Amino acid sequence: MSRSRWHMYEVDGALTVARRIPAHFDLAASTVIEGGAVLRKSRVAHQVRQDMWRALQSLRGLAPVVRVVAQGEDLEITAGGMIAGRFPKQESEARIQAVLDDPQNRARWARFAQRYTKKEEAMT
């Protein structure tokens, strides 16, 4: 079995998934999923990371970072990362924002991160 090269940690209710520690954002975009506080943060974070990576895989030196935190009944997602070297910041942040705002992505993240009750799990 291969070892995951992703660091996952939670501080003050905010879950962060990052390639390198300490994680910080050289570029970032944010969104809120209304009513998303019931979703599993780790699953949302990994799905967002995968979609962001697909959109920015040509960006050399990118170490992705995704932060997910429940704000009341909503789920706030900040995606971006650390960059080694120069990069087109506005273009890169616009591409991340497009990933975060895509309704199909958001619906898939929510389906993947659903919390089921034991009764619902037994039915599937």
**Domain boundary assignment for the chain:** 7-113
Select the CATH number that applies to the domain covering 7-113 from these four: 3.30.1380, 1.10.10, 3.30.300, 3.30.1490.
3.30.300
Residue-wise pLDDT for 21-46, tens only, equals: 899 999 999 999 999 999 999 999 99
Spatial separation of the C-alpha atoms in residues 84 and 100, rounded to whole Å: 23
Phi, psi of 15 (to 5 degrees): -90, 130
Q: Looking at residues 9-32, what average pLDDT do you find?
A: 94
| Sequence-separated (6 or more) residues with CB below 8 Å from residue 112 | 43, 44, 47
Which run of H or E residues covers position 32? strand 27-33
pLDDT digit string, tens, across residues 109-123: 999 998 765 555 555
The two three-digit tokens of residue 21, written as one number: 């520690």
Closest CA to 66 of 84, 83, 51, 46: 46
pTM for this prediction: 0.87
